[in-house]
Amino acid sequence: MGLSYEYSVGSVRAKEKALFTKTDIEQLLACKSEKELTTALVDKGYGEGGNVDEVISFHTEKTWEYLRRVAPDFGIFSPFLIENDIHNLKVALKGTMSARKYSHLFVQPCLIDTEVIVKAVENRKFSAFPKWLIKPADTAYELLSQKGDARESDAVIDSAAMARMLEISESYNSDFLKEYFRTLVFYNNIKIAIRSTATKTDAKFLETALTETEGFRKKTVIEAAVKGNLLDTLGKFPEYDCKKAMEEYQKSPSAFERFVDNKLIVAAKESCKRASEGMEPIIGYYLGCEAEKKVIHIIASGIRTKTDDEIIRERLREIYG
C-alpha cells in the first residue's frame, strides 16, 4: 500500500520540531572556532563528522533518505535535483576537456546516474540523457571543445535546466511550487543580466542565457543591459518585488543575494507551513533543511575568514524553523 499525504504531512510536522530556531542560530554564532561549531552541531543532533563539511554532508544524506521514505511522490523533488545533474554535467565536461580527475566533485542525489554522465561526455553521445538535455549537452560540449568558451557552455546548460524546472513545476497542482520556480528563474535571469553589464556581454549571449518565465521582460532586460541602464530599468519592475531587490543591490551585491534567498524561504513558510495536506509541507521541510545548511555555511565561512560577528549576522538568511 502506498504512502498517503496524510501520513507524510504528520511525519514532517514532527520532524520540523528539530529544525533550528533563532535561539539555536544565536548559539552557533557564539562559536569562535570551526571545532566549536562542529561540536555544537553534533551536540544538537544535526549530524556526525569531524568537521563542519562532514557534518553537513551527513545531515544532507540522512535528509534525502528520509524524504525518499516519506514522500508519496518523490518526483516532486525533480526540479530541485536538476541542479545537481547540471552541476555534475559541467564537472564532467570541464574535467574531460582538461584531462583532470573530477569524480570527487560530483554531488548527490541526482536524477541522472553519474556513470551515465561520464560515459556520455567521454564518447560525446548524449542519447541516454533526458530528451530536454540532449541537444544542450551536445552544444555545450561543442562550445568547450572547439571554442574553449566555458561561460557560454554553462549558459546553454543552465538555461535548458531552468526551462525544465519551470516545466516540471507547472505540471504539478501546486500554486506554491509554480510560484517558487518562477521566482527562482526570474532572479537567476536578473543575476545573469547584472553580471553581464560588468563584462560588457553582447545581446546574443543574453538571448541564450536568459530563460523565459512569467513576468520576466526578456527583450527589455537585454536592451537595458546592452545600453548600460540595467539597474535603473530593473528598479522599475514591480514583478517579484524586483524594485525592492534593486534597492538591496544598491546597498551591496550580498544584500541582494540575501533578499532573494529570504524571499524564497519566506514564501515557503507562508505557504507550506500553513498547508494541512498535499505536497507543500514536505517541500517546505526540504527547503527548511536547505536554509539551515546555508546559514551554517555562512557562519563557518565567517569563522574561517575571521569576519566580524556583526557582518556575519548581516549575511544570515531567514530560517524555516
Does the structure show a pLDDT above 50 at 1? no
242 located within any domain: yes
Tell me: do 201 and 266 sit in the same domain.
Answer: yes
Q: pLDDT tens digit string along 82-92?
A: 999 999 999 99
Q: What is the mean pLDDT of the chain?
A: 95
Which one, of 62, 55, 250, 268, lies nearest residue 177 by Cα? 268
Tell me: do 97 and 61 sit in the same domain.
Answer: no
Range of the domain at 269: 175-182+193-273
Tell me: do 86 and 158 sit in the same domain.
Answer: yes
Tell me: do 217 and 269 sit in the same domain.
Answer: yes
Note whether 150 and 168 are within 8 A (CB): no
pTM of the predicted protein model? 0.94
* Residue 191, all three cell numbers: 543575476
HEC string of the chain equals CCCCHHHHHHHHHHHHCCCCCHHHHHHHHCCCCHHHHHHHHHHCCCCCCCCHHHHHHHHHHHHHHHHHHHCCCHHHHHHHHHHHHHHHHHHHHHHHHHCCCCHHHCCCCCCCCHHHHHHHHHHCCCCCCCHHHHHHHHHHHHHHHHHCCHHHHHHHHHHHHHHHHHHHHHHCCCHHHHHHHHHHHHHHHHHHHHHHHHHCCCHHHHHHHCCCCCCCCHHHHHHHHHHCCHHHHHCCCCHHHHHHHHHHHHHCHHHHHHHHHHHHHHHHHHHHCCCCCCCHHHHHHHHHHHHHHHHHHHHHHHHHCCCCHHHHHHHCCCCCC
Q: Supply the pLDDT for residue 181.
A: 98
187 located within any domain: no
Q: Supply the pLDDT for residue 197.
A: 87
Q: pLDDT tens digit string along 101-145?
A: 999 999 999 999 999 999 999 999 999 999 999 999 999 999 999
Tell me: do 199 and 223 sit in the same domain.
Answer: yes
Please compute Rg for the chain using Cα positions: 21
* Residue 255, all three cell numbers: 544584500
- CATH number of the domain at 29, please: 1.10.132.50
User: How many C-beta atoms surround the C-beta of residue 165 within 10 A?
Assistant: 26
pLDDT band at 200 (very low <50, low <70, confident <90, very high): confident
Amino acid at residue number 190 = I
- CATH number of the domain at 82, please: 1.20.1690
109 located within any domain: yes
- The span from the CA of 184 to the CA of 151, in Å, is 20
249 located within any domain: yes
Q: Supply the pLDDT for residue 2.
A: 61
Does the structure show a pLDDT above 90 at 4? no
188 located within any domain: no
